[in-house]
Amino acid sequence: MDLPNLKEARKRTDKKVEVLTDSYRLTEELKKLGLNRNYYIRTYGCQMNEHDTEKIKAILEDMNFQEVENMENADLILLNTCAIRENVHNKVFGLLGHIKSLKEKKPHLIVGLCGCMAQEKVVVDEILNKYQWLDIVFGTHNIHNLPNILATSLAKKELEIEVLSVEGDIYENIPVKRESKYKAWINAMYGCDKFCTYCIVPYTRGKQRSRRPEFIISEVKQLVEEGYQEVTLLGQNVNAYGKDLDINYRMENLLEDVAKTGIPRVRFLTSHPWDFTDKMIEVIKKYKNIMPYIHLPVQSGSNKILKLMGRRYTKEEYIDLFNKIKEAIPNVAITTDIIVGFPGETDIDFRETLDIVNTCKFDSAFTFIFSKREGTAAAKMTDNVPIEVKNKRLQELNKLVNKYAEEANQKYLNQVVPVLLEGVNEKDNTMLYGYTETMKRVNVKADKSYLGKIVDVKITKAGTWLLEGELCA
Ligand code: SAH
Ligand code: SF4
Ligand code: F3S
């Protein structure tokens, strides 16, 4: 049993990152473990976590488990969780209440919790106190060992917890079952060393460690061969890619080499303003298959709050970078993340956040109320902003953000833009949906033979949330 440890999770040393190519191994015995058993997995959180779920699914299917869409039909239920804000915590523990009643009816049901919440000491303590009926808990550094964790729990018939709080290594041989046949997530780097004062990710995901380029490029080449249309390079601040490698190879080199594989669309997430270099901008501009879409979280428009957040840029520096990107890359869409109600945020600070939204007119923004995360530096700051004020600020911010989102969408009206059609519309199955190069969702009347194709679409309707269009002949 390995329990999470905050002090260890915070540690950063110059210990060399190991690249492990044979850590995931299955014995014949483990391959039989899932026979006649169904699994159900629910995922919370970011793209990184969604991609981890794709790995977990592949591991379970290697063990002969079969996926079901309904948790009531499962013999194994896994919750792959997110720790970024308190709300997922509440949802997950609420759902565990329901799952407990399923387990009472079906005692052989195996229940597990993994992902970033598993890395939190407070969560594991709560499980040890009140949810001993769970079968497995495993952390973000333990995915490759899932088969053994399951086997141990089944053999001992008791809760097995394996959560390593370490800086982390890189596991290169974990299989993946991709959700889409057209677009794929690819890890470029793991972890984060930025330690923004509000954020738990550096504790749940370990230190910043970049995959070696040759592994990434060969993964992309394989996807090109399989007919994939799009890859998204993932990292908590992906443009810091390469800084920790012992070779002189950075994000601009990776973007260029990935673009050269000929994959029709290259995306990357998430950009921290601090690591966005001029060289990256040049490469994005040069390659038509690097998409003109950048998610560039600003978090706040007040220099005082940015400093308290440990973001390491000022509002002025952000705006300069923003303008540089807008000028260099024609039609680029830029979206952002904003937190309101950070400890010490006054009305004047909040007005400055509204100001930066008015200056940048973002294509869209994810907006959040500050959520106190145990163990982070901001958790120790005095939070003197009443919750009613935070709620009011969020509403006011959202109104402004939506106004600019609608304006940005209106510009598409009557334009012809390429769209990668990737799925059938959930509400109307005569329609497909897909995304523009700038990451705007479009509904298009088209039959299923167009799935997986990049087609020219004329935009006929533009609202705040959605575009609608017709196929061009
Ligand atoms: N690595 C990315 C962000 C990942 S988390 C970056 O640095 O840009 C996604 C977003 O969640 C963040 O941009 C931030 O806006 C929000 N967030 C993170 N921690 C939070 C907290 N404690 N409370 C509220 N929002 C938070
Ligand atoms: Fe969190 Fe900051 Fe790292 Fe983003 S860059 S994951 S907000 S610590
Ligand atoms: Fe959440 Fe972990 Fe991602 S905290 S946002 S799932 S890295």
Question: What domains can you pick out in the chain, each with its CATH number?
Answer: 6-162 (3.40.50.12160), 175-408 (3.80.30.20), 416-471 (2.40.50)
Of 355, 182, 146, 145, nearest to 264 by C-alpha is 182
What is the pLDDT tens value at each position of the chain, 473 positions in all? 899 998 999 999 999 999 999 999 999 999 999 999 999 999 999 999 999 999 999 999 999 999 999 999 999 999 999 999 999 999 999 999 999 999 999 999 999 999 999 999 999 999 999 999 999 999 999 999 999 999 999 999 999 999 999 999 999 999 999 999 999 999 999 999 999 999 999 999 999 999 999 999 999 999 999 999 999 999 999 999 999 999 999 999 999 999 999 999 999 999 999 999 999 999 999 999 999 999 999 999 999 999 999 999 999 999 999 999 999 998 999 999 999 999 999 999 999 999 999 999 999 999 999 999 999 999 999 999 999 999 999 999 999 999 999 999 999 999 999 999 999 999 999 999 999 999 999 999 999 999 999 999 999 999 988 899 999 97
| 76-81 and 38-43 beta bridge pairing | parallel
pLDDT value of residue 294? 98
Q: Alpha-carbon torsion 244, 191, 313, 287, what sign? A: positive
DSSP assignment of 135-149 equals -EEE-TT-GGGHHHH
> What is the predicted pLDDT for the residue at 8?
94
pLDDT of residue 390: 98
Asked if residues 288 and 250 have their Cβ atoms less than 8 Å apart, the reply is no
| Ligand 1 neighbour 357 (Cβ under 6 A) | no
Q: 199 CB less than 6 Å from ligand 2?
A: yes
Structure tokens at 406: 């609608």
Cα–Cα distance measured from residue 35 to residue 3, given in angstroms and rounded to the nearest whole number: 30
Distance CA 442, CA 457 (A): 9
Q: What are phi and psi of 116, to 5 degrees?
A: -65, -30
Residue 261, preceding bond cis, omega within 30 degrees? no
Helical (H) or strand (E) element with 280: helix 278-286
d(CA 118, CA 123): 7
Which amino acid type is present at position 438?
T
Which ligand 1 atom sits closest to the C-alpha of 366? 15
- For the chain, the C-alpha Rg in angstroms (whole number) is 23
Nearest C-alpha neighbor of 272 from the set 355, 195, 187, 377: 195
Which residues share a beta bridge with 418?
456
Rounded to the nearest 10 degrees, what angle do helices 47-62 and 146-156 cross at? 60
- Classify residue 262 as exposed, middle or buried by CB count within 10 Å of its CB (0-12, 13-18, 19+): exposed
User: What span, in angstroms and rounded, lies between the C-alpha atoms of 457 and 419?
Assistant: 7
Confidence at residue 473, expressed as pLDDT on a 0 to 100 scale: 74
**Which amino acid is residue 76, in one-letter code?**
L
Supply the pLDDT for residue 1: 82
Nearest residue CA, atom 4 of ligand 2?
236
Candidates 274, 313, 267; CA nearest to 289 is 267
Pairing of strands 230-234, 265-269: parallel
**Nearest ligand to residue 368 Cα:** 1
- Alpha carbon of 69 to those of 39, 42, 66, 110, 180: distances in Å? 9, 10, 10, 16, 16
Say yes or no: CB of residue 192 within 6 Å of ligand 3. Answer: no
Is any atom of ligand 3 closer than 6 Å to the C-beta of 118? no
Phi-psi region of 62 (alpha: psi -120 to 50; beta: other; left: phi over 0): alpha
**Residue bearing the CA closest to ligand 1, atom 11:** 84
Shortest CA distance to 257 belongs to which of 242, 271, 244?
A: 242
Whether residue 306 contacts residue 299, with contact meaning beta carbons closer than 8 Å, is answered with yes
Which atom of ligand 1 lies closest to the CA of 84? 19
Helical axes 251-260 vs 213-225, angle rounded to 10°:
20
Q: DSSP label at 166? A: S
Q: How are beta strands 431-436 and 416-424 bridged, if at all? A: antiparallel
Which pLDDT belongs to residue 472? 94
Amino acid at 259: A
What is the predicted pLDDT for the residue at 174? 97
Asked whether 195 lines ligand 2 (CB < 6 A), one says yes
